[in-house]
């Protein structure tokens, strides 16, 4: 039994090391990208004949708190009126249907080409709504914004010109965060998303590997969508699915790190949970659906396949983290009762290099947003430890999502409740879309919180403090997730 535990523990460490090396490769690509000028061909918008028609799609579902802000913001987009169409793809089932219709009528009277498109049958959820709107879309290019996004007025002027290159199928922009500093929860979400939108997206794009349209704040060539097989609702991340299908059809994606599209982060842990569940399960579903096609595509490089593997299995790292965490306690006891394994434990200390790689990668992205000063660096250390502690606290919930994705369990598209919260004075307490149910995963998380409390106690009993920082982080992370979850129910 001891040998089996050590073997599984070692394999988990090895896979995490390989994942960290993939991130290191993306970091190198990111740093290299800063030395290269962007000489992309662009439309000349001073020539009216070069300005293409664009359709903006706004998928909605019961967005009482943000729909007015969304429509007001979109109405200010700077683009020739005769070349712009707006589709409000409204699948709502509550009173917002009527209020949205009223606001749209006001915008129509101002001269905007804006339509209110509703469906009785919500087949395919968001993917189905996008597909339905596409049937009648006038635009050669299709921009998509979720309800909590607030693109700047010049957004189309900064993105559409890149489609001068006929091989470009998608232009994706970086997400910003209007409520980054609202709470610890929003800060750690911003920390994670900044890493994805700065290092991962740029690193993959510069290395000519597959990236993903992020579901919003991006624009598609309509021809690319149709050529790749159109939107499909058979996974929870229809954006990732269509992205891989399009790139396997040899369409190029253009990522614009310097074009920021502000949005609102979930401020309640139940909302963050629902978002995390959808993203993590959807990634696993997409691995099952698309990776074999990617693997056996002889036209793709080994590097693209390697990065595609870890891209689609990104969420599956939570399974490894959870496994590593649970096994770390028996490993602690094995280490102290089996001196014959002492040389082995000296060897696996090498795997700590994974942590160093993650530390460097996250520092580069943090410094991009917050600056490189010494004060910023010390704040980063605190945020790095906090983020990974809470990320490990989410590992049970996210692992369940990943397992469902890999084993093919189907579930409805659970959208993330929006709040229209920008500062500390705004409250989420009355949000009608919040779930008040206590999940089974919260109970398991509570038990693991006690389990890692025991792990800390064991360090003092055994006088072995080699894993105590790891166990303190796990104890803090699970404690945070459990108590925030309980507080959000009252």
Which active-site residues does the annotation give?
A: 91, 239
248 Cβ partners below 8 Å, 6+ apart?
290, 293, 294, 297
What is the DSSP code string of 129-180? HHHHHHTT---SEEEE--TTB---TTHHHHHGGGGGSTTEEEEEEEEEETTT
Within its chain, how far is the Cα of 269 from the centroid?
16
Q: Three-state DSSP class for 353?
A: helix
Residue located via tokens 């009608």: 432
Helix axes of 269-295 and 302-312: crossing angle, nearest 10 degrees? 150
Residue located via tokens 């535990």: 5
Token pair of 31, please?
């740093």
Contact status, residue 163 vs residue 52, Cβ threshold 8 Å: yes
Task: Judge residue 322's burial from the number of C-beta atoms within 10 Å of its C-beta, 0-12 exposed, 13-18 middle, 19 or more buried.
Answer: buried
Contact status, residue 437 vs residue 271, Cβ threshold 8 Å: no
Q: What is the spatial distance between Cα 34 and Cα 374, in angstroms, rounded to a whole number?
A: 23
Q: Backbone dihedral region of 93: left (phi > 0), alpha (psi from -120 to 50 degrees) or beta?
A: alpha
Q: DSSP letter for 417, please.
A: P
Q: Spell 292-319 as b/e; 16+ CB within 10 A means b.
A: eebeeeeebeeebbebbbbbbbbbbbbb
Contact status, residue 13 vs residue 348, Cβ threshold 8 Å: yes
Task: Count other Cβ atoms within 10 Å, centred on residue 180.
Answer: 17
Q: What is the spatial distance between Cα 172 and Cα 380, in angstroms, rounded to a whole number?
A: 27
């Amino acid at each position: 039994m001891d040998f089996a535990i050590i073997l599984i523990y070692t394999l988990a460490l090895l896979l995490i090391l390989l994942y960290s090396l993939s991130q290191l490769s993306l970091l190198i690509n990111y740093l290299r990208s800063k030395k290269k000028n962007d000489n992309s061909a662009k439309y000349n918008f001073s020539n009216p004949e070069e300005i293409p028609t664009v359709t903006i799609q706004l998928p909605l579902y019961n967005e009482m708190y943000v729909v007015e802000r969304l429509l007001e913001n979109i109405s200010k987009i700077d683009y020739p009126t005769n070349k712009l169409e707006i589709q409000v793809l409204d699948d709502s089932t509550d009173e917002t249907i009527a209020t949205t219709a009223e606001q749209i009528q006001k915008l129509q009277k101002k001269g905007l080409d804006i339509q209110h498109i509703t469906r009785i049958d919500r087949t395919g959820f968001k993917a189905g709504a996008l597909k339905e709107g596409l049937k009648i879309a006038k635009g050669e290019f299709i921009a998509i914004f979720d309800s909590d996004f607030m693109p700047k007025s010049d957004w189309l002027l900064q993105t559409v010109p890149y489609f001068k290159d006929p091989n470009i199928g998608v232009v994706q922009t970086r997400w910003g965060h209007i409520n980054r500093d609202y709470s610890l929860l929003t800060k750690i979400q911003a920390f994670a998303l900044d890493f994805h939108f700065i290092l991962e997206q740029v690193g993959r794009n510069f290395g000519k590997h597959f990236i993903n349209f992020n579901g919003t704040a991006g624009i598609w060539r309509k021809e690319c969508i149709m050529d790749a097989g159109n939107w499909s609702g058979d996974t929870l991340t229809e954006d990732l699915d269509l992205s891989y299908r399009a790139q396997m059809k040899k369409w190029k994606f253009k990522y614009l790190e310097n074009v920021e599209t502000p949005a609102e982060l979930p401020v309640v842990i139940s909302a963050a949970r629902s978002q995390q569940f959808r993203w993590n399960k959807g990634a696993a579903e997409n691995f099952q659906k698309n990776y074999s096609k990617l693997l056996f595509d002889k036209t793709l490089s080994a590097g693209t396949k390697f990065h595609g593997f870890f891209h689609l299995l990104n969420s599956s790292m939570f399974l490894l983290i959870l496994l590593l965490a649970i096994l770390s306690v028996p490993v602690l006891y094995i280490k102290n009762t089996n001196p014959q394994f002492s040389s082995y434990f000296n060897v696996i200390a090498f795997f700590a290099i994974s942590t160093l790689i993650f530390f460097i990668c996250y520092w580069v992205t943090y410094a991009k947003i917050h600056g490189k000063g010494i004060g910023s660096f010390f704040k980063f250390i605190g945020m790095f430890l906090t983020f990974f502690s809470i990320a490990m606290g989410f590992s049970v919930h996210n692992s369940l999502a990943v397992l469902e994705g890999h084993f093919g369990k189907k579930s409805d598209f659970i959208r993330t409740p929006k709040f229209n919260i920008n500062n500390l004075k705004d409250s989420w307490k009355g949000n009608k879309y919040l779930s008040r149910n206590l999940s089974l995963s919260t109970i398991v998380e509570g038990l693991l919180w006690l389990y890692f409390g025991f792990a800390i106690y064991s360090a003092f009993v055994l006088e072995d403090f080699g894993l105590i920082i790891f166990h303190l982080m796990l104890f803090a992370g699970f404690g945070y997730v459990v108590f925030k979850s309980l507080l959000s129910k009252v």
